[in-house]
């Protein structure tokens, strides 16, 4: 499989700058893999495709406000700092991306507040834009994290050209987000409203949760033509015994098991054994799923519409069949479905 096999023309106006007015009223394209048919619905119609004892598996990661703005010492130049990962809680050392990066060298200090209550020192270069920072802050760890949240901004993807708005803090977060640690939202889950969750519950549908803390690697372009040579960045995955048990029971009972989002699917495929059992898991995954791939757990999935040549498009092509997916995407462009994080959704059965 080649990267260029997953290219298609995506008009810029189809990249969603804003979410739909109501979470569950985005458009929904329903794909049936058996019959290779396509239906056009609203997201809230998803309830019609599932029965009692079917299972939805959600990624309960929570996005933290990862984008900060600081000023470089002496020059006062404005620098964007994107928090990627906490490396050491005690010493407050973080992996970050900086922009513009060429101005930021080891030993530089960045000031985030007028009163200099939060300062960071650059202690290492990791990639062209990556740096390791040590934050200097007088106060407890909890106070430090509160300060980061206060100063941080909702980390909307770069393709959204507008400024962050107050509603983004709520809308770029799933309603069931619990475990903080993601720098990007698991976007398929953004379509679930409280009302829709209640309807699914009333129908007797079961829920399970996994945690995969979405990193920026999700958006990294693939720079090789041969897919087998692409390396995914690692993301943290946690699946506890209780949820592994719920998932295994649904699989054993041959229920419809729906992975909500590519991140949920990656978590499941990371922890599934050869006998199609999910084990409790606490670790990291750099699993890259592309065709052909034999999926071990979910037999349905919900996902958003992804950009050309992305790892996310490759995963759903592995799930639904490459030709069928590329045909569905042509249809999506024709029908003016909205793409990407705030865009419309697809249900694959």
Q: Quick one: pLDDT at residue 216?
A: 79
Q: Are residues 111 and 54 in the same domain?
A: no
Task: Kindly state the average pLDDT of the residues 37-49.
Answer: 98
Q: Are residues 122 and 253 in the same domain?
A: no
Domain membership of residue 292 (yes or no) is yes
Work out the burial of residue 134: count CB atoms within 10 Å of its CB; fewer than 13 is exposed, 13-18 middle, 19 or more buried: middle
Q: Are residues 26 and 142 in the same domain?
A: no
Q: What is the per-residue pLDDT across 59-78, written as a single tens digit (0 to 9) for each?
A: 999 999 999 999 999 899 99
Q: Are residues 44 and 75 in the same domain?
A: no
Q: Are residues 128 and 7 in the same domain?
A: no
Report which of residues 218 and 300 the model is more confident about: 300
Q: Are residues 220 and 322 in the same domain?
A: yes
Domain membership of residue 164 (yes or no) is no
Task: Kindly state the average pLDDT of the residues 189-208.
Answer: 98
pLDDT at 5 over 90: yes
Task: Kindly state the average pLDDT of the residues 47-69.
Answer: 97
Among candidates 40, 18, 345, which has minimal Cα distance to 196? 345
Q: Quick one: pLDDT at residue 221?
A: 81
Domain membership of residue 111 (yes or no) is yes
Domains of the chain: total:
2
What is the CATH number for 113? 2.40.10.240
The pLDDT > 70 percentage for the chain reads 100
Cα 349–242–256 angle (5° rounding)?
A: 15
Q: Are residues 199 and 251 in the same domain?
A: yes
Q: Are residues 197 and 224 in the same domain?
A: yes
Task: Kindly state the average pLDDT of the residues 4-19.
Answer: 96
Domain boundary among 123, 151, 179: 151
Q: Are residues 90 and 49 in the same domain?
A: no
Q: Are residues 260 and 137 in the same domain?
A: no
Domain membership of residue 115 (yes or no) is yes
pTM exceeds 0.85: yes
pLDDT at 46 over 80: yes
pLDDT at 1 over 90: no
Task: Kindly state the average pLDDT of the residues 275-282.
Answer: 94
Q: Are residues 286 and 178 in the same domain?
A: yes
Domain that holds residue 127: 67-151
Q: How far apart are CA 216 and CA 227, in angstroms?
A: 19
Provide the CA 277 distance to its chain's centre, in angstroms. 24
Q: How far apart are CA 194 and CA 23, in angstroms?
A: 9
Average pLDDT, the chain: 95
Here the tokens at position 249 are 């029971």
What is the CATH number for 245? 3.40.1780.10
DSSP, collapsed to helix, strand or coil, labels residue 326 as helix
Q: Quick one: pLDDT at residue 247?
A: 98
Q: What is the per-residue pLDDT across 234-278, written as a single tens digit (0 to 9) for each?
A: 999 999 999 999 999 999 999 999 999 999 999 999 999 989 999
Domain boundary among 151, 179, 204: 151
Q: Are residues 134 and 238 in the same domain?
A: no
Query: Hey, what's the torsion of the CAs at 161, 167, 168, 170, to 10 degrees?
Result: -170
Q: Quick one: pLDDT at residue 100?
A: 93
Domain membership of residue 92 (yes or no) is yes
Domain membership of residue 157 (yes or no) is no
Domain membership of residue 39 (yes or no) is yes
Domain membership of residue 163 (yes or no) is no
């Amino acid at each position: 499989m080649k990267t260029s096999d997953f290219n298609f023309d995506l008009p810029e106006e189809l990249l969603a700058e804003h979410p739909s007015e109501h979470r569950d009223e985005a458009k929904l394209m329903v794909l049936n893999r058996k019959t290779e048919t396509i239906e056009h619905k609203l997201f809230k119609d998803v309830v019609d495709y599932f029965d009692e004892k079917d299972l939805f598996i959600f990624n309960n990661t929570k996005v933290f406000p990862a984008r900060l703005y600081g000023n470089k010492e002496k020059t006062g130049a404005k620098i964007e700092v994107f928090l990627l990962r906490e490396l050491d809680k005690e010493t407050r050392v973080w992996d970050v991306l900086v922009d513009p990066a060429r101005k930021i060298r080891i030993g530089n200090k960045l000031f985030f507040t007028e009163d200099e209550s939060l300062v960071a020192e650059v202690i290492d270069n990791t990639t062209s834009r990556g740096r390791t920072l040590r934050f200097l802050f007088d106060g407890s760890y909890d106070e430090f994290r509160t300060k980061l949240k206060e100063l941080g901004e909702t980390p909307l993807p770069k393709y959204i050209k507008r400024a962050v708005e107050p509603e983004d803090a709520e809308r770029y977060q799933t309603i069931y987000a619990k475990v903080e640690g993601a720098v990007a939202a698991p976007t398929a889950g953004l379509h679930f409203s409280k009302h829709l969750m209640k309807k699914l519950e009333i129908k007797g549908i079961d829920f399970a949760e996994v945690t995969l803390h979405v990193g920026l690697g999700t958006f990294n372009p693939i720079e090789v033509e041969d897919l087998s040579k692409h390396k995914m960045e690692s993301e943290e995955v946690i699946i506890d015994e209780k949820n592994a048990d719920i998932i295994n029971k649904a699989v054993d009972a041959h229920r419809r098991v729906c992975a909500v989002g590519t991140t949920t699917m990656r978590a499941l495929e990371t922890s599934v054994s050869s006998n199609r059992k999910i084990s409790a898991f606490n670790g990291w995954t750099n699993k890259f799923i592309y065709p052909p791939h034999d999926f071990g757990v979910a037999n349905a999935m919900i996902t958003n519409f992804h950009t050309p040549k992305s790892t996310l498009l490759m995963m759903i092509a592995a799930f639904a069949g490459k030709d069928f997916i590329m045909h569905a995407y042509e249809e999506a462009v024709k029908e003016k479905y909205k793409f990407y994080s705030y865009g419309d959704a697809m249900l694959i059965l």
